[in-house]
Amino acid sequence: MFDGQFRTQVDAAMKPIGRGLTKAGITADVITGIGLAMSVAAAVAIGAGALNLGLLLLVLTAIPDLLDGAVAKASGKSSIRGAFFDSVADRITDALLFTGLAFYFAAEGFSPWVVVLPVLGYATASWVSYVRAKADALGFDAHVGLVERAERIILLALGLLFGGNVLIVVLAAIVVLNLITAGQRFVKVWGQATAATPALSARRPRRAPRSTTTSAERRAARVERRRTLSESRRSR
């Protein structure tokens, strides 16, 4: 949702900052690495129960995610390698944050189903990302759905801000929204793939029509061929 409605405006707003960072000699890969380091610190803070500090570090994790693309475009060095690094860093960040939450719930003695919520949050978020990545690899469009990574980060920040039961409700909402989004993407890609796949009847080679000659006619034809062959041999 964020990418579809606000990504262009955000990229335009980040462009001047990207140019400034480029002039300072800071590359997009460096910014991505800083964001990854911040996510480690955020996960540790959340796991230790310092939710307010975790919230601050989560915000600091999100800022480099907005800037790395702007720096890459400003420097004219957008690359497949940079996109790959950014995508991998995002998946690692998600894993770290949800792991920190699971550790926090376990350490605080919450019910087992609460401890499992962050695990489900990460699992379902991975499904959302995988469906889109696989669709892109196959040449299909999966840019649909209620929530993407930006929305999950915003929801998670709200949960950390209020903590307690609010955090639990937010995590449950993230799981449900992830499932809906993954389902929306699957259905869209399924429809595109179905339209791009020829029907089974179209792929089967047509059989040659069966001969309508009788068995007696076929025997007479064989006799005639043998007689013709015998005469040709005698004439050599």
Instruction: Give catalytic residues, as residue numbers.
Output: 90
Q: Yes or no: say if 160 and 55 are a contact pair by the CB < 8 Å rule.
A: yes
* Amino acid letter, residue 1: M
CA separation for the pair 157, 65 (Å, rounded):
15
Q: Using an 8 Å Cβ cutoff, are 93 and 36 in contact?
A: yes
Q: Are 185 and 177 in contact (CB under 8 A)?
A: no
Q: Kindly report the length of the chain.
A: 236
Interacting residues of 75 by C-beta distance below 8 A, sequence separation 6+: 18, 22, 27, 28
